[in-house]
Structure 1
Amino acid sequence: MKIRCIFLHRQQYKCFIFSLSLLVVCLLKLVHIKVTVKNSFFIEPYGVTANVYRVQHQKYDINCSAIYQMDPVEVGKSLEIRRKDIVDLDDDNIVSLTSDCPGYMQSRGFASLPLSNAEHLLGSRVKWKYVINLCGQDFPLKSNYELVAELRKLQGANMLESSRPSELKKQRFKFQHMLKDMPYEYQKLPVRTTRAKAPPPHDIKIFIGSAYFVLSREFVSYVDGNPLVKDFLAWSVDTYSPDEHFWATLVRMPGAPGAIQQSQPDITDLMSRTRLVKWNYLEGSLYPPCTGKHMRSVCIYGAAELRWLLNYGHWFANKVDPKVDPVLIKCLEEKILEKQRLLVKSSSR
């Protein structure tokens, strides 16, 4: 009798564990929580370049011109679509960037990737004039016709952020940083040590900005193989975020094609028209509030910001995400194609 009771208790315990596991799986499915594969990165789809997203957007019965005019009915419809019909992603979007992601991060290879890619483009058969470095959640705000016209206006100059660092930001490159595992993060993050760094090589004056830029072919040719640039890159490897000061500093380098003089005022993200980013702590003062959602203090735009985005004057918007607001992406593409057709038609007369 005693042995039988023990057996029954074991069976009940196994059933309980199985039921609990099943409940957890169902809950994860219900709230769409995805577990990141170890040593992998989540790759965001770029706008509507994939046919699956193009088909998905075409089904929405939305008047983008009415949204542009801030019609409350159409804006309300876009919010309802966002609530009910958010685009989900398959597990195929979880991919390994390299065969050894931890080793790649440990080497801080991301700091030199834009430099390597830009230099590689010099060997292209296409005689390009400018290289534009963007992130996966940027989206054009100008038609191709308009963008070419804007690039011609630069007349060989470069377009990117370049500002003097605050005392707080200086800590990012005055001390050595090491990559360490952090709670609730899928990859290692740079952590400041107590070891002070040597001054930058060649008495380089540090400026800060962004990893994203518009650079002329002449500028890229100038930095290609430049020993000063190589020394500066090697010095930057153990700083907090090398890509946030590397290009902003090089563009101030005396003698560089299209260089910004070091005595010139700061060039902020709103002054550099490359990318329009909305920070939550500046909303209400520098720009209207975000109508989408925030990720790490940055707004992921909503459809109600369509008019503001297209009229501000920048070339690309950061960030857009089909999982946050697919209607905005549909309407941005529609309005840009509309402008392109009108400009081509008027130029052919």
Structure 2
Amino acid sequence: MLQLEGTKCSFLFCLGICVLICSAIYLKANILSAPATQQSFVSCRPFPQYCTALLHRGEDTEWQRRDCLAEGYFLSGQLNCSRMVKELHFITSPLSREEEEYPLAFIITIHKELEMFARLFRAVYAPQNVYCIHVDEKCPLQYKTAVLRIAACFPNVFLSSVSEKVTYAGFSRLKADINCMRDLVKSPVRWKRVINLCGQDFPIKSNLELVRYMQSNKWRDRNMTPGVKQPSSMRYRTQTQHREIRGSYVAPRGKGHKKGPPPHKVQIYFGTAYYSLTRPFVDFVLQSQVARDLLEWSKDTYSPDEHYWVTLNHIKDAPGSHINGGWEGDIRAIKWKDQEGTSHNGCKGYYIRDICIYGLEDLQWIIDKNSMFANKFEAKTSPEALDCLEQWHRQKVLQQAEVPIQPDWQLAIETNKVPNASTGPS
């Protein structure tokens, strides 16, 4: 009898331990899968004091952020699309007829920082536009799955049907854009122009300002590909054959590997890899024998995306060509290290590959420059600069809207500061 009682006690004790373990596992799973916005806002970064002047608010006003967007939001549990769109404050209606009648196409190439991509994407998203996202083939499966989840929540967003293992300065970077263009021309959205972005860009102009800029007298029928005839210092890029080690680096083949002249006797230009292109020009890129031959010839050059677009845009027969064009076009605000003291007053963040990763004190320069986009930002190392610029941009977007503003579109709520108990009135 005593043995039976002992066995019963042991059983109950083990059962109790199992219940505790299962409860702990259940609670942990629920915490991990809960959307980030359901967590307390206490952990949100407050807007730095520097933002007060930038957002044109008095010292007695402060902003309370409405979400703590973090990578965990997309990586854990199932993503509820309708809740995500609402909780992350995506704009769900065209903000003006002007924008609705002039849809844009965006190519976004990404390979890291999921949070940075999400913040860029929601800043440029509009339901009348169309978006092709190229995810580097080297990215971890978890990253690719998260981006696919986000894209699946929007009927006008998709991942590139062909993914490249992108190499810095390699042909694969140019190919990523071409792949997206092939997908975009099949889209039911009748977009007017295509703009390319990388994951470390952030918009300065609103979508309405982009549309108006693209339709200005200077650019209405022209492609925007800033650049000039290839200077002698850059000729090594296209006169010597280069070898791309996919996903790693690009290196010259050596003295005995000279390239032949470019096809169709085209004049090679040098410029930026960023552009704004008309739809007829994109058709020319994909269908013209000249464009195809130049693409083939460019496979073993260095950083071909910095000569391909601008060279084609100086061909007389190319739709929307700008044969007398130079560095015109406010495509990007970039602080290059070698231009410090001339075009800018130095990087207030830090340099990587001689390009500034922006800090808070760079923002006024960026806003004053008023380019289409600014490059580069990092959400992990300089989050405050991105927080401040993101709120500034959304505030401008909503102020320009010609439709009623939905409460869910606000990224932050403006409140009055609570007086400090030690310094307030007695």
Query: What TM-score does the superposition give when structure 1 sets the normalisation length?
Result: 0.69
- Deviation, 1:59, is 3.0
Within a 5 Å distance, the mapping from 1:228-243 to structure 2 comes to 228-243=290-305
* 1:109 maps onto 2:172 in alignment: yes
CA contact 1:322–1:329 (8 Å) conserved in 2: yes
The separation in 1 between residues aligned to 2:315 and 2:272, in whole angstroms, is 16
Question: Sequence identity, in percent?
Answer: 31
Change (3 A) 1:105 1:307: closer
What letter corresponds to residue 163 of structure 1 in structure 2? V
1:300 maps to 357
* 1:62 maps onto 2:48 in alignment: yes
- Deviation, 1:244, is 1.2
Change (3 A) 1:215 1:297: same
* Alignment deviations for residues 104-155 of structure 1 (CA, whole Å, 9 cap, x no partner): 5699433322123113211101110111111110000012222222122221
* 1:250 maps onto 2:236 in alignment: no
The separation in 1 between residues aligned to 2:340 and 2:177, in whole angstroms, is 30
2:237 maps to 172
Who wins on radius of gyration, i.e. which is larger?
2
Change (3 A) 1:313 1:100: closer
CA contact 2:54–2:392 (8 Å) conserved in 1: no
* Structure having the larger proportion of residues in helix: 1
* 1:146 maps onto 2:209 in alignment: yes
Change (3 A) 1:178 1:256: same
What letter corresponds to residue 68 of structure 1 in structure 2? L
Change (3 A) 1:312 1:61: closer
- Deviation, 1:250, is 0.8
The separation in 2 between residues aligned to 1:157 and 1:60, in whole angstroms, is 43
The separation in 1 between residues aligned to 2:47 and 2:378, in whole angstroms, is 19
Change (3 A) 1:111 1:62: closer
CA contact 2:194–2:279 (8 Å) conserved in 1: yes
Counterpart selection for 1:190 from 242, 247, 251: 251
* 1:266 maps onto 2:326 in alignment: yes
CA contact 1:201–1:235 (8 Å) conserved in 2: yes
What letter corresponds to residue 332 of structure 2 in structure 1? R
Change (3 A) 1:318 1:51: farther
Change (3 A) 1:341 1:289: same
Change (3 A) 1:56 1:105: farther
Within a 5 Å distance, the mapping from 1:199-238 to structure 2 comes to 199-238=261-300
The separation in 1 between residues aligned to 2:335 and 2:138, in whole angstroms, is 35
* 1:288 maps onto 2:316 in alignment: no
Change (3 A) 1:289 1:257: same
1:47 maps to none
What letter corresponds to residue 393 of structure 2 in structure 1? I
- Deviation, 1:266, is 2.6
2:190 maps to 127
- Deviation, 1:211, is 2.0
What letter corresponds to residue 195 of structure 2 in structure 1? I
The separation in 1 between residues aligned to 2:253 and 2:37, in whole angstroms, is 44
Change (3 A) 1:193 1:67: farther
1:26 maps to none
Q: CA RMSD in A?
A: 3.5
* Alignment deviations for residues 140-172 of structure 1 (CA, whole Å, 9 cap, x no partner): 001222222212222121122221222120111
Q: Which runs of 5+ in 1 are unaligned?
A: 1-49, 74-86
CA contact 1:320–1:329 (8 Å) conserved in 2: yes
SS at match of 2:401: helix
CA contact 2:166–2:172 (8 Å) conserved in 1: yes
* Alignment deviations for residues 223-281 of structure 1 (CA, whole Å, 9 cap, x no partner): 222111111111111111211111110111111121011xx2532xxx32111111011
The separation in 1 between residues aligned to 2:272 and 2:138, in whole angstroms, is 27
Q: Which runs of 5+ in 2 are unaligned?
A: 1-35, 60-69, 76-111, 115-134, 141-163, 406-426
Counterpart selection for 2:220 from 111, 133, 155: 155
Count how many residue pairs are aligned between Structure 1 and Structure 2. Answer: 272
Change (3 A) 1:109 1:322: closer
- Deviation, 1:347, is 11
The separation in 1 between residues aligned to 2:139 and 2:44, in whole angstroms, is 39
Q: Which has the higher contact order (CA 8 A, sep 6+)?
A: 1
What letter corresponds to residue 151 of structure 1 in structure 2? M
SS at match of 1:134: strand
Query: What TM-score does the superposition give when structure 2 sets the normalisation length?
Result: 0.57
